Amino acid sequence: MKNVMVTGGAGFIGSNFIHHLLKVEPDVQVINLDALTYAGSLENLKDVSDDPRYSFVQGDICDTDFVGGLLRKYQVDTIVHFAAESHVDRSILGPRQFVETNIMGTFSLLDAARTFWLQEKSLPVENVRFHHVSTDEVFGSLALGEPAWTEETPYAPNSPYAASKASSDHLVRSYGHTYGLPFTMTNCSNNYGPYQFPEKLIPLIILNAIDGKRLPVYGDGQQIRDWLHVEDHCDAIHLVLKKGIVGSTYNIGGENQPANLTIVETICEILDEVSMDASHTPHKNLIEFVKDRPGHDRRYDMDTHKISSELGWRPRHTLTGGLLDTVNWYLSHPEWVTAIRQKQEYKGWMDTNYKSR
Ligand code: NAD
Ligand code: TYD
């Protein structure tokens, strides 16, 4: 791993991964390829922007020739592919962009990598790797009591987001099987932590609660997700890059399954304790049950035995500690929050998704 292209590196997990990689791999060169959609922000990478090991390129993963040029220019040996449209609610209101970015974008990257690594034989094939970052949502939804998903569970995606990710996973697998492209893949549960765009549940609830705005809980709030601190996710991806078996996929999860309402109430309790502004205490009075998401998946649960037994990975953060750190991060980064809130895409989304709920 010398020259690593990170796609979507200005987004939530990608930016955390770049911070992580620069910390744990002193000799690495990182090329961050990001289109800077509404979800990407260079604010997330301010503190590494002067690092000589880091370069940013603004561009679209769907442009195969452009990506091919970058692979040659930087002699890229490793691609860590995060770039995607990532929000389920947006995929329900506008699925086309998800098909384009998640399916066509992944296809475009795979094809550029195949040309550069396998056809032009630019680098020894044993030194190259395409790592695809995917989600647990490809497996569908579990009823209470059903066993957790393993790497062998058949895909059954329910939302346009999940279907587009499932499709991209299949394309990656097919490039490995058909062309011998060396890949690894990880399917991870819901992440939370610093730099998450406040359209996803945890940062949305934190920021609304700080402002004394209503806390929208979809349906009965009894849907269950598995939650993982983003640093644990980054650590797992790094481990898979170092020690994972080529052609393998690994499930990643936080080994906890609280109901959404419990997450929201926990954030309220943390803010009651740590917020300097007591005017909205108790914050749980702001909770409001709103119209449910269409096709809302009920329960997710990941079986993570493979990554723990083969690679020795375990999450380091507990959910309680991770949530406390995350609330404190949002409280102590008002400039980041203000910059995001000023984006028209943020304000527009809050109106589009919540006004009629
Ligand atoms: P995000 O929405 O915060 O960031 C996505 C990034 O991709 C943004 O910086 C955006 O500008 C960039 N991007 C979008 N389209 C692009 C294009 N055409 N070309 C180049 N860049 C483009 O997403 P995230 O939450 O950081 O998720 C990253 C990856 O991890 C995604 O593939 C997602 O499916 C997967 N994942 C996310 C979670 C989660 O809980 N957030 C969990 C499991 C897996
Ligand atoms: P989200 O963060 O959008 O992640 P995902 O849909 O990928 O799991 O949502 C997490 C859960 O929280 C999901 O069950 C939907 C629910 N949710 C709410 O109840 N209210 C909200 O305002 C949002 C954004 C999500």
pLDDT at residue 208 in the model: 97
Model confidence pLDDT, tens digit, residues 22-71: 999 999 999 999 999 999 999 999 999 999 999 999 999 999 999 999 99
- Is residue 40 lining ligand 1, measured as CB closer than 6 Å? yes
Cα 88 to ligand 1 centre (Å): 12
CA-based radius of gyration for the chain:
20
Residue 261: pLDDT band by 50, 70, 90 thresholds? Answer: very high
Mean pLDDT within 173-191: 98
137, 169, 232, 235: the active-site residue: 137
Residue 75: pLDDT band by 50, 70, 90 thresholds? Answer: very high
- Catalytic site includes residue 301: no
**Least-confidence region, from 109-118, 242-251, 347-356:** 347-356
Cα 273 to ligand 1 centre (Å): 32
- Catalytic site includes residue 100: no
Mean pLDDT within 119-126: 97
pLDDT at residue 18 in the model: 99
Residue 193: pLDDT band by 50, 70, 90 thresholds? Answer: very high
Pocket residues: Cβ below 6 A from ligand 2 = 88, 190, 200-201, 204, 216-218, 223, 225, 260, 293
Model confidence pLDDT, tens digit, residues 316-342: 999 999 999 999 999 999 999 999 989
- Residue whose CB lies within 8 A of the most ligand 1 atoms, among 12, 63, 226, for a mutation test: 12
Q: Is the pTM of this model over 0.85?
A: yes
Average pLDDT, the chain: 97
Cα 86 to ligand 1 centre (Å): 5
Model confidence pLDDT, tens digit, residues 274-292: 998 889 999 999 999 999 9
Atom of ligand 2 nearest to the CA of 200: 2
- Residue of the nearest CA to atom 7 in ligand 2? 88
